[in-house]
Amino acid sequence: MLSGIKIVEISGIGPGPFCGMHLADLGADVIAVERADAGVAKKAGDEGMVLNRGKRSLVADLKTEAGRQLVLQLIANADALIEGMRPGVMERLGLGPEELHAVNPRLVYGRMTGWGQSGPLSQAAGHDNNYISLSGALYYNGTAAEPPSTAITLTGDIGGGALYLAVGLLSGILNARTTGKGTVVDASIVDGSAHMLQLLLYTGTKGLITGDRGKNVHDSSHFYSTYRCADGHFITLGALEPQFYALLLDKLGLKSDPYFARQWDRENWPDQQQRFAALFARRTREEWCALLENTDVCFAPVLSPAEAATHPHNAARGVYFEREGQLQVAPAPRFDGKLATPGRIPLRGEHTAEIEAAIEGGNTQRCWQPR
């Protein structure tokens, strides 16, 4: 879908490379400019970083004039650039928006940070959990009795960062094709993860969120919760709507129990949740799947990625695949019902020689490959 889109990625960690991979999955030609010493990748022994899937890789030292000139020549025919440095670093390297727009006025300059390009915290170090803490996105995760917790990278780095950067880049590219003018995209994880709260804030008007942890439908009700099974595995319920809740009670043998008839009696939720917990602890996850899966009770087992890869639904849709010794996830979304074909993972610096040869030959267009 993105054939013909040319992107230069100044490789970093986390959301920037994920954004580049996502765009490469969808057909963009992405060149990852990686550090010669590999940084984090080298320490992890990762010669071919999985987030470089579908990209081409070259190594360069951006602290040298040769490395700087290589980037300037690459972006001359590029649609966008991705960088995830702290604010001001690219400017100190002579590769800030002003320098790059002087070479390519149509360039969309994508900046990925945690705190953003401005503000009191813009120069401070941080990670995913810090950013979503400040944005408000971490607050409602978990119960009142436990510290808030969330799956690493999902809400912040990917949801609030990489995907917002991707939307910003594509919006900028469309605008540049109309106006001939590039732009600078300031994608911060604080901004993106806060923006994702808009739906949650809306649910407050429906009575699902009250404002305090431990008093909301997702952290205190019995019908929208996670339960431990007899084998130590977990299952989830999400029977919000009355028809789904009624079916759940029927499946659990509680249809005639008056104690559970009033679904939205919040005073009884804590005790009802304890009773549900005791009930679900009597059978294994597999037994609950046999009873509740593929019904309208809004149910699913909690699976590890390895388990999810073999679940019949995910297997039928080809959500996971294994290649080059690594479990990977297929590109998303689908177009016309079809999955995009994921590219291979290049070795670090694998394409350095061919890209440099094209530049030295004076034809920077040859740096890019039609997809």
Residues involved in catalysis: 127, 157
- Give the Cα separation of 150 and 163 in Å (integer): 18
Q: Which structure tokens are listed for 164?
A: 């917002």
- Give the Cα separation of 34 and 349 in Å (integer): 7
**Cα 365-331-285 angle, rounded to 5 deg:** 165
- Give the Cα separation of 51 and 27 in Å (integer): 15
- Give the Cα separation of 301 and 168 in Å (integer): 35
Question: Does a cis peptide bond (omega within 30 degrees of 0) precede residue 305?
Answer: no
DSSP run (H or E) holding 234: strand 234-238
Task: Name the 3-class secondary structure at 43.
Answer: helix
327 phi, psi to nearest 5 deg: -75, 125
- Give the Cα separation of 114 and 162 in Å (integer): 11
Q: Which structure tokens are listed for 308?
A: 């999810």
Neighbouring C-beta atoms of residue 314, cutoff 10 Å: 16
DSSP run (H or E) holding 326: strand 326-329
